[in-house]
Amino acid sequence: MRSVFSGSRDSPFLVVRVRRDTLVQDVLAQISSKRERDLRKPLKVAFVGEQGVDEGGVAKEFFQLFVRRVFDPSFGMFAHDDETRTFWFAPEADDLGLEDVEFELIGIVIGLAIYNEHILDFRFPMTIYRKLLGQTPSMRDLREVNPWRHQGFAKLLKARTAEEVDAFGLTFTATRIVFGDEVVVDLIENGRDVPVTIENRSAYVKAYVEWFFVDAIQYPFDAFKRGFHRLCGGPVIHFFRPEELEQLVCGCAHFDFNALEAATRYEDGYAKDDPTMRMFWRVVHAMTETQKRRLLFFATGSDRAPIDGLGALPFVIRRNGTEDHRLPTAHTCFNHLLLPEYKDEGTLRARLTQAIENAEGFGLQ
């Protein structure tokens, strides 16, 4: 066992040892210098000072903690847009002194998750996956990332007279907010002195889109892409569509709870035909789509299904006492739902709903 988990070059595993309070720093120190062939070994994670053996659950918790940390807006690497419910590269990244290697690490970890078949709970706009595939951004991408700006540009391009265009009061500049201050960027040489007219408005929109998706994020995105391609690069990636690439990272958003029921295992006194289990599945199948998402997140730590669907999810329901006042709980690292043996369907529905509605989530849609 010692040779297997030693992390040596001869080990068949990629072994990562992390501390919870310095998780990102520990991953950076251990992963960034690894060779590609070592990164492609099966991942084993150990939390320093803890005795858990990684049979999949520890690595899942590691990915959950890593994603929550680096995508927390206070960490300074990504900003969250409440309207689109997606993350984008934070405009303050340059000013915080973040290094390329930190964004490269995120690309590597996302590649590790794909390689080890772990679903990550965050959302990028689809344009990130298009850029990873080498596609050129367009107005369509702006609609996904910045809907109000897209709407304004659509009105600008549809304006019929020079007076209507002049009323926008635009010049060849862009603005971004950095630490609460507005920073003006020229889109062309001396752009702030060049007004947008009915003749050059298309050139202005094109210049803005290129700035927004290329120049404004060039340093963090290039590093992120470099890390991602360390594991997932090569000709084969271009066989994927952007939507398929997103599913590899974040799983599938379409659910088949009948498939989940068919694949579920039962432990600690429950069985498929147990009365409590029959009540449970009646309640689940009657839930709204939003409630099903919340249940899935509550029990597994992600509101997405594996790319092969919910039938491929190793889901387990365990009996957890008979007290009606107790709420269901879960071990999300192992996809285990701990469900008390409630006396009737109404109580089960009430307790389950209370649990999933009041559990704090990350990245719920």
Q: Tell me: pLDDT of 37 over 50.
A: yes
**Is 306 inside any structural domain?**
yes
The pTM of the whole model exceeds 0.85:
no
The number of distinct structural domains making up the chain is 3
Let me know whether 168 and 298 are in one domain.
Answer: no
Q: How confident is the model at residue 5 (pLDDT cuts 50, 70, 90)?
A: very low
Let me know whether 155 and 300 are in one domain.
Answer: no
Distance CA 110, CA 120 (A): 8
Range of the domain at 270: 257-358
Task: Tell me which of 250, 267, 296 is where a domain ends.
Answer: 250
**pLDDT tens-digit readout, 96-123:** 556 688 999 999 999 999 999 888 989 9
The full 3-state SS of 262-306, as one line of letters, equals HHCEEECCCCCCCHHHHHHHHHHHCCCHHHHHHHHHHHHCCCCEC
Mean pLDDT of 185-198: 96
- pLDDT in the model for residue 9: 56
Q: Classify the phi-psi angles of 4: left when phi > 0, otherwise alpha if psi is within -120 to 50, otherwise beta.
A: alpha
Task: Tell me which of 226, 250, 274 is where a domain ends.
Answer: 250
Let me know whether 286 and 326 are in one domain.
Answer: yes
Sign of CA dihedral 195, 200, 205, 207: negative
The two beta strands, 181-186 and 173-178, are antiparallel
Q: Residue 47 corresponds to which tokens in the numbers above?
A: 């939390």
Catalytic positions, please? Answer: 333
Let me know whether 174 and 32 are in one domain.
Answer: no
Distance CA 62, CA 333 (A): 9
State the DSSP H helix or E strand holding residue 311, giving kind and residue range, or none if neither.
none
CA angle 20–24–27, rounded 5-degree value: 100
CA distances from 306 to 33, 256, 349, 362 (A): 30, 11, 26, 18
Distance CA 265, CA 273 (A): 12
Among candidate residues 319, 331, 326, the one with its CA nearest the CA of residue 355: 326
**pLDDT tens-digit readout, 224-268:** 999 999 989 888 888 899 999 999 999 887 889 999 999 999 999
**pLDDT tens-digit readout, 317-362:** 999 999 999 999 998 878 999 999 999 999 999 999 999 988 654 3
Crossing angle for the helix pair 242-250 and 100-115, to the nearest 10 degrees: 80
